[in-house]
Amino acid sequence: MDEPELDAALEACDREPVHIPGAIQPHGALVAMDEQLQEVRQVSANLESILGVAPADALAMTPERMFTRRWLDQIRIQLDSRNRYGALIVSLRSRGRSQRFRLLSYRSGARVVVELEPISGNPERWLFGAMADWQTELSGHTTRDGLLRALTALVRELAGYDRVMIYRFDEDWNGSVVAESLADGADTYLGHHFPASDIPAQVRQLYSIMRVRDIPDASAAAVPLVPASDPADASPLDLSCGILRAVAPIHVTYLANMGVVASMSIALHLDGRLWGLLACHAAARNILSPALRDALRAMVQTTCVQLELVQAREEAALIQRANDSRDVLVDQRGEFPEPEELLASHGKEWLRIFRASGAVLAAGDQSAGVGTVPDAESIDGIVAWLNRHHSGDLAWSSRELGRTELGRFCEPARASGLLAVPLPIRNPRDAWLLFFRSEKAETRIWAGNPEKTLDRQSGRISPRESFASWKEIVRGQSVPWQSAELRAATDLASDLAVLIAAGEISQLNQRLERLATRDHLTGLWNRYRMEEAIDQEVAVAERYGRPCALVMFDIDHFKRFNDTWGHDAGDEVLVTVARTVSTFMRDADLAGRWGGEEFLVLAANTGLEGATRLAERLRAAIAGLEIRDYGSVTASFGVAVYREGDQRRGIVKRADLGLYAAKEGGRNRVEVSAG
């Protein structure tokens, strides 16, 4: 297939209307009504076998007659609920006897859709008792690998699938299997990769709408809607919010080629982004009870919360290591070393913290390097390109420099990855802190050859027929940069800027004075100025016995603003929060940006009770913000008060411990440090 043909086929695949199949799977039934619930517009052709009502009779009924007034009222309540997973358990007459159903209702444009799944027995009774044990078992794991292995084993034990795996997305939406549980004889995919086109963009989007995709029997014929189109609304019925949506033909073929008949996937979202999928496969039909399926979804949600805590602990450890290095820099203020001296003193430690093979500090006509870095001429070319294309205050990173314009300056063995952070100095010279990572060749095992084939007759991508292991050696890439590393490097660069600028105070204009005391984005005091203020207040407290307190807070799930709407949105949130905090503070309070999305408030002549009230007032003010269409903004707060003999680091550390406790306690709350 040539490249234009491939691009056209991939675009067609991304436009595949999987959300409007005009049919459902046969293990349930569907009824579509008008928005006012006054008339039945469409039903699934299998309604009689599920509900005991022929489609023609159902279309002549009123919704109240079909569902009874009681359940119709419950449907109205469900439609107004924010919980899209809150299904009802209803009893309806079917063939002269009472039958229990799981009923899920949702709005689809100007219509209301009701999906019905029959329930036999009472599986909920044992599920309710077992849920607490499962949640406790999962929450006891403190490592990502252990947690994911436990989840796959538990799901396979409960649901009876042959293979349960965790499928994690990378930054390009390729997937890899990072955990797996197998029945005897099942093929393993652990460590295997799948191309992004296996789960195209519109399918990934559906996992943000309905996080469970259950296919009990992919080989079963889809059940069409009757009539095929709504007589009052010709637009196709959108089934994105449902559980019964029919399986796209290309996916049926894909599963058949994999030897899979039954499949279930549950989305794992971390920090508001689709992180991966729990994927379950069986070689035979496997219909789960709705209650068990809901319980599995709840287990996955618990796992996501636990994964966020594991990730937060890892990021906190990285930030702490970086902050310890920054504290050493702070102690050097007044010495004003040159770039060579800075890297000689701290370069090896920075390489360890940022997992880098080399680092360069470039400031105007001066630059110095440590570790494995490009030659001086190449560094000049890199800095010139960064100055032209990334002159803002945000970090820039790549793990694959060979695919960028900077590739001509870098040999992969020496520099395949780059994290570049501008030092906020604009006059008289630009400056950059550069971290390099060397190439890390990767032997990638694909589940089948990832190269696509084209069905010439339909013009569509054809699912591969074999999923046998296919090896590929990927070169020219480094280990990916983590968001926490970008944040820590940005904070370090800010401190370096102050240190370098202070050494040239005789040459700088009024902008330098602001740089030394004010955060360039929010206008609040920067970390350096806040540290001075804390030292002064601690000295007053020690000499005169006057109380003082620190309130440290961090914007919850801040990463989602950058990931979803871009870094400009993240900057807008930071500026708005800073403005709000300034409005609600007392005259004697001082606020500063401590780093990234972390802020600090110094409350002079204030004890624990007053500082806690101040923190709660600020928390409520932030929680009340509405910024464009970004959604709610919340923050977590830690409070610490001066103790006899305290120094700055001690009281700051206790406030940080309180903040961490607030994060672990559920966020959007105030915690007083007990440390």
Active-site residues, by number, are 597
The alpha carbon torsion through 191, 195, 199, 202 (nearest 10 deg) reads 140
170's CB contacts (< 8 A; 6+ apart) are 176, 480
Distances, alpha carbon 180 to alpha carbons 73, 257, 259, in Å: 43, 20, 17
Helix (H) or strand (E) holding 423: strand 417-423
Contact 245, 21 (CB under 8 A): yes
Q: With 0-12 CB in 10 A as exposed, 13-18 as middle and 19+ as buried, what is 283? A: middle
Residue 623 to residue 256: CA distance in whole angstroms: 49
User: Phi and psi dihedrals of 274, rounded to 5?
Assistant: -65, 110
Please give the full DSSP string across 331-344, using - where no structure is assigned: HTTTT---HHHHHH
Contact 238, 269 (CB under 8 A): no
Residue 363 to residue 368: CA distance in whole angstroms: 9
Q: With 0-12 CB in 10 A as exposed, 13-18 as middle and 19+ as buried, what is 365? A: exposed
Count CA atoms within 13 Å of residue 397 on its CB side: 23
Distances, alpha carbon 124 to alpha carbons 118, 121, 128, 287, 293, in Å: 14, 9, 6, 16, 11
Contact 443, 471 (CB under 8 A): yes
User: Phi and psi dihedrals of 602, rounded to 5?
Assistant: -100, 115
Q: For the chain, give the longest Cα–Cα distance.
A: 94
Tokens representing residue 446 in the block: 């694909």
Enumerate the β-bridge partners of residue 22.
none
| One-letter amino acid for residue 74 of the chain | Q
657's CB contacts (< 8 A; 6+ apart) are 638, 640, 673, 674, 675
Please give the full DSSP string across 245-267, using - where no structure is assigned: BPPPHHHHHHHHHHT-SEEEEEE
Enumerate the β-bridge partners of residue 427.
none
What is the number of other CB atoms lying within 10 angstroms of the CB of residue 21?
19
392's CB contacts (< 8 A; 6+ apart) are 422
Contact 359, 373 (CB under 8 A): yes
Helix axes 527-544, 483-502, angle to 10 degrees: 80
Residue 435 to residue 421: CA distance in whole angstroms: 9
The alpha-helical segments, DSSP class H, found in 38-89 are 47-51, 55-60, 63-80
**Alpha carbon of residue 654 to chain centroid:** 28
